[in-house]
Amino acid sequence: MKKTLIIILAIAMLLGLCACGETNANSGPVEIPPQAAELEDKGFKCTMVKDTAADYKTACKQDPSQVTVGTLTITECKRYGSGQTPPKEGLEALEGYEWMEIKARTVFDDQNARLYGVDRASTVTTYYDQKYYEQSLKDNENGSTSFSAVKGGKEWKDCLYIKEVDNQGWNEERQSICEYTWYVRVPEGYDGVVVVFYNASLKWEAGKYIYEVLDGDSLLFRAQ
């Protein structure tokens, strides 16, 4: 009798372990909680507004000890949702993702710009967790940059952006002009894309996050 009871208990324990294994195997993906607005938490606000010029302070190209002040304007911010043709030929549309087209224009015409040139610096980052974003960044052979984003408790790994310089040089008014376009693929409705312009003299050492590099003159535009 005692031997039979031991066998029954052993079988029950084995069945319990098997059941636990099945439950874990079929539990599905772990949910990713919403990310904090880290840029705001670190004191950097996205103050740029489309079609409104802001002063852009940066170093001169031929003499980085000199500073020039021009203007930066975000001239376009469009979304191309699921089912719409992407904004440029060759951009791949993926289910659940949308393309964004963001354009910017910088103008410099002060004396230092004319004497020493202009050195501009810009990048794309996220409004949310910087460590998560930086760890997912990957430069691709075609010139695009891949990254991951979190939306709706889900990780979206097929995000990317492409930066293009559309026009650069001096015009007839002796103004140094540079126009940019970013094509960004993100999950539909994602509100975390941030375009940043900063002083080219700022040192971005390996291992630093963007909020450790930017200063109070940096300009941030959140594409919403």
- Residue 168 lies inside a defined structural domain of this protein: yes
Tokens of 80: 């191309």
How many Cα atoms are found within 13 Å in the side-chain-facing hemisphere of 126? 26
Residue 23 host element (H or E): helix 2-25
Q: Which residue has the higher pLDDT, 221 or 18?
A: 221
Please list the residues that pair with 185 across neighbouring strands.
99, 160
- Rounded to an integer, what distance in angstroms lies between the CA atom of residue 127 and that of residue 149? 10
Amino acid, res. 106: T
Residue range 91-136, pLDDT digits in tens: 999 999 999 999 999 999 999 999 999 999 999 999 999 999 999 9
User: Burial of 24 by CB count in 10 Å (0-12 exposed, 13-18 middle, 19+ buried)?
Assistant: exposed
Sheet holding 120-126, edge to edge: 120-126, 193-199, 219-222
- Residue 131 lies inside a defined structural domain of this protein: yes
- In this prediction, residue 30 carries a pLDDT of 57
- Residue 206 lies inside a defined structural domain of this protein: yes
- Residue 179 lies inside a defined structural domain of this protein: yes
Q: Which domain holds residue 110?
A: 38-222
Please say whether the beta carbons of 157 and 165 come within 8 A: no
Q: Which residue has the higher pLDDT, 156 or 19?
A: 156
- Residue 47 lies inside a defined structural domain of this protein: yes
Our count of domains for the chain comes to: 1
